[in-house]
Structure 1
């Protein structure tokens, strides 16, 4: 099965989920895969729950939006997919419902 993890749709056919200036929350931990300069491979760049701000939007493979997110508390600017990000108010609602 060569394409088991294949993406079901072309994300850029629709509008971006986030816009520059939007406040976002990391939905997962992000480690350096070797593409972030000045940091060790495997070093955690973003922690789940960190709050950041979208600075720019680009595309990858003419299929996905990539959001350049500035994680102010960590001092890094990391490119992330929409599925790796959430709106802060949605995260707060999820945490409250879990309690």
Structure 2
């Protein structure tokens, strides 16, 4: 019986983003209690922020989690594929470049 929350198993395919790749956040990301030193609900990343993928891991043997370094904020946050968009290249990030073409999404 399906409960409607099932998602594709991402790890059956290669990761969409690779270490060193420049990415942009497509959603606001708040601390869900797993980020140390920040209050629960505190915004960690804003939609449109630019960063670089530092590492790729997995979660629940189903999803890729990308450790993204947000240069302007000085933090590294684990992000899901749907929360990122590739900017290509490895040059210095500029937030204004990210804002173009970012889809509206629900804040977490």
TM range (shorter): 0.7 to 0.9
Runs of 4+ in structure 1 off by over 6 angstroms are none
Conserved? CA contact 2:22–2:87, under 8 Å: yes
Q: Could you state the TM-score of these two structures normalised by the residue count of structure 2?
A: 0.79
| Greater fraction of residues in helix | 1
Structure-to-structure mapping, 1:1-80, within 5 angstroms? 3-7=3-7, 9-80=8-79
CA RMSD of aligned residues (A): 1.9
Q: CA deviation at 1:94?
A: 2.8
**Higher relative CO (CA 8 A, sep ≥ 6), structure 1 or 2?**
2
In structure 1, runs of 5+ residues without a counterpart are: none
